[in-house]
Amino acid sequence: QVRLVESGGGLVQAGGSLRLSCAASGSTFSIIGMGWYRQAPGKQREYVASITSGGSANYVDSVKGRFTISRDDAENTVSLQMNSLKPEDTAVYYCYVNTEFRYYWGQGTQVTVSS
């Protein structure tokens, strides 16, 4: 089992920055990929970014150039640096990790961007 705890959400004005962090505990040796999804009110959960065990990162087009994902395998954390935030980035952000057999999810952290 892997447990995930997120932190770093909050309220920020448009153009501002936030950094989300997600700490994994438990069977962290089995983690392969790590990443983030988000869910805005009334919308489906959408992919935001992911990073492989080799450090290769991918992003949804809407955040490219503004968000940066990173991971620290020594600390078992994945982070999402979010710059130039827009009101449309407002959502609950969920971190995840995947092992060979399943995905694990965090509880979510609210990000609100005011215009």
Each residue of 72-107: pLDDT tens digit?
999 999 999 999 999 999 999 999 999 999 999 999
- Encoded tokens for 41: 């009110």
Mean pLDDT of the chain: 96
pLDDT, position 109: 97
DSSP conformational letter for 95: E
* Closest by Cα among 80, 76, 78, 41 to 59: 80
Q: Which residue type sits at 93? A: Y
The one-letter amino acid at 85 = L
In this prediction, residue 25 carries a pLDDT of 95
**Residue spans of alpha helices (H) in the chain:** none
What pLDDT sits at residue 77? Answer: 97
> Would you say how long the chain is, in residues?
115
Give the Å distances, CA to CA, from 25 to 75, 81, 84. 9, 21, 31
